[in-house]
Amino acid sequence: MPFDPNFLSNFLLGLSAWGAAFLAALWLSLAIWTYRDITARAKDPLIRFLAVLVVAVLFLPGIVVYLILRPQRTLEEEYQQTLEEEALLRAIEETPACPGCGRRTHDDWLVCPHCHTKLKKPCHHCGYLMDLAWNLCPHCGTEAPGMRRERLTLDEALQPLALDFPDDKNEDMGLDFDTESESVPEK
């Protein structure tokens, strides 16, 4: 079989064309991937432009430089981490603490088991636990006994107290007073 020099030349030319096409496709795909990746990681348009420029100009060394310098987390991951931190802080802040000793308590405790500070009071009508400062049960609307009413209406403030007194006080109390007073001897 004779050796054809044109075959080798055509084979190398075709191989070079395929290699160049592969490198061009790799270069373009790395530039597009870099743009998509930096878009997910940074908001600043200048940072985005510089990242794509480094990869486009330096090609394979540029992608290595980009991978070293790019932000560690995506914007979505940063947002999720922020939400988790806020949820943890909210959970810590919402945990009730004893005003006496500062230890954690539960919502259904009447008294702190550590320092015996009164934490809540039960409603006398429905038994729901109320904060000490509340003077009205939020469940049944019953006023707490012994608490003064705040924000009276004008009609309530001007209304006289309705007390039931018997018609004849003397008879109901078992006291018998003479209407005529006896004179007391003077000394």
Average pLDDT value over all residues in the chain: 83
3-state secondary structure (DSSP) of residue 100 = coil
Q: Binning pLDDT at 50, 70 and 90, where does residue 105 land?
A: confident
37: how many CB neighbours lie within 10 A of its CB? 19
Dist CA 119 CA 105 (whole Å): 9
Q: What are phi and psi of 46, to 5 degrees?
A: -65, -45
Q: How far is CA 153 from the centre of its chain?
A: 37
Dist CA 46 CA 52 (whole Å): 10
Q: What pLDDT was estimated at residue 24?
A: 97
pTM for the model: 0.50
Residue-range domain boundaries for the chain: 16-74, 99-147
Residue 170: C-alpha distances to residues 142, 179, 180, 181 (Å)? 37, 11, 15, 16
| 123-163 pLDDT, tens digit each | 888 888 888 888 888 888 888 776 555 565 667 666 665 55
Dist CA 87 CA 93 (whole Å): 10
